[in-house]
Amino acid sequence: MKLCYNIGVNKLLLLDNEREIFSHLSEGLKEGWQYEQEAFLAYETRDELQIRYRMTHFQDPAFAKLAQSAASIKSVDDVEKVAASFDITSVSQEDMAELFFVLGTRILSCIIAYALKHADSDDDVEGVMTLTHIRHSLFETNSSS
């Protein structure tokens, strides 16, 4: 998965459990990547996520189905089940941003942990880095409301 977010620095913003996963990556894969502790932890409430979902009108029915099925995600293992039914490579950046806004930071954190566990190339780590910065932006948005 290759997402471009124009970050400029190879720095991942990780939660404690993600730092643990990162520490178990091969030395070659970790080379060139920096990480720091995610500074914000402003998660959405269930009501806030329901409001976001009601406000969103996905053009693609697959998005609506993904957002509905994401409500059942409670662990990293659940991410795999939901993700298996969705082709993320066909999604535009605009649609992806809206989808992450609707899914929220808890589910995005599950996706990050899953992607980090299965990372086996620099492109994979770059995708994880992008997701951590998207989550950071959502945390910032949540903390200002």
Task: Name the amino acid, one letter, at 113.
Answer: A
Output the pLDDT for position 79.
Answer: 66
pTM, to two decimals? 0.81
At position 51, the amino acid (one-letter code) is: I
**Element holding 34 (H helix, E strand):** strand 34-37
- Are 128 and 13 a contacting pair, CB within 8 Å? no
pLDDT at 83 over 80: no
Domain ranges of the chain: 11-143
CA–CA distance, 17 with 23 (Å, rounded to integer):
10
Task: Kindly tell me if the per-residue pLDDT of 76 is higher than 70.
Answer: no
How far, CA to CA in Å, does 14 sit from each of 33, 39, 92?
12, 9, 25
Using pLDDT thresholds of 50, 70 and 90, give the confidence band for residue 6.
Answer: very low
pLDDT of residue 2: 42
Helix (H) or strand (E) holding 44: none
Q: What is the pLDDT of residue 120?
A: 94
Rounded distance between C-alpha atoms, residue 20 and residue 113, angstroms:
10
Please tell me the distance from the alpha carbon of residue 26 to that of residue 75, in angstroms, as a whole number. Answer: 24
Question: What pLDDT was estimated at residue 97?
Answer: 79
Mean predicted lDDT score pLDDT of the chain: 83
- Give residue 107's pLDDT band: very low, low, confident or very high (50, 70, 90): confident
Give the pLDDT of residue 53: 82
Q: Mean pLDDT throughout 94-103? A: 82
Winning range, highest mean pLDDT, from 29-33, 44-48, 49-53, 73-77: 29-33
- The two structure tokens encoding residue 141: 């948005």
DSSP state of 48: H
Tell me: pLDDT of 117 over 80. yes
**DSSP per-residue letters across 57-108:** --SSHHHHHHHHHHTT--SHHHHHHHHTT--GGG--HHHHHHHHHHHHHHHH
